Amino acid sequence: MSVKKSPEELKNMFEKYAAKEGDPDQLSKEELKLLIQTEFPSLLKGPSTLDDLFQELDKNGDGEVSFEEFQVLVKKISQ
Ligand SMILES: [Ca+2]
Ligand SMILES: [Ca+2]
């Protein structure tokens, strides 16, 4: 799986989706779902579901994904 994005593009993408509802600096589960379904649908074709992915990304367990937590997804995408 290889989806190349520049750090700039990823930051813009995060901000675009994070601003949709609630905290504009955090991705809710719904926002993460939209982002992945729209930008990286191939991520959901593997064994991991959106729930798994969200839990993996939300390291501090506050129910939202910060830009810092989002970096885990970035690493996945760029592998
Ligand atoms: Ca948000
Ligand atoms: Ca979090």
Q: Per the CATH hierarchy, to which homologous superfamily does domain 7-78 belong?
A: EF-hand (1.10.238.10)
Reported pTM: 0.88
Q: Residue 68 C-alpha to ligand 1 middle, in angstroms?
A: 14
Q: Residue 32 C-alpha to ligand 1 middle, in angstroms?
A: 9
The pLDDT, as a whole number, for residue 47 is 81
Q: Residue 60 C-alpha to ligand 2 middle, in angstroms?
A: 5
Q: Where are the domains of the chain?
A: 7-78
Tell me which of 1-5, 7-11, 72-76 is least confident. Answer: 1-5
The pLDDT, as a whole number, for residue 1 is 46
Nearest ligand to residue 27 Cα = 1
- pLDDT tens-digit map of 6-42: 889 999 999 999 999 999 999 999 999 999 999 999 8
Q: Tell me the C-alpha distance between 77 and 22, whole Å.
A: 26
Nearest ligand to residue 34 Cα = 1
The pLDDT, as a whole number, for residue 48 is 80
Nearest ligand to residue 54 Cα = 2
The pLDDT, as a whole number, for residue 65 is 98
Q: Please, are residues 52 and 78 in contact by the beta-carbon 8 Å criterion?
A: no
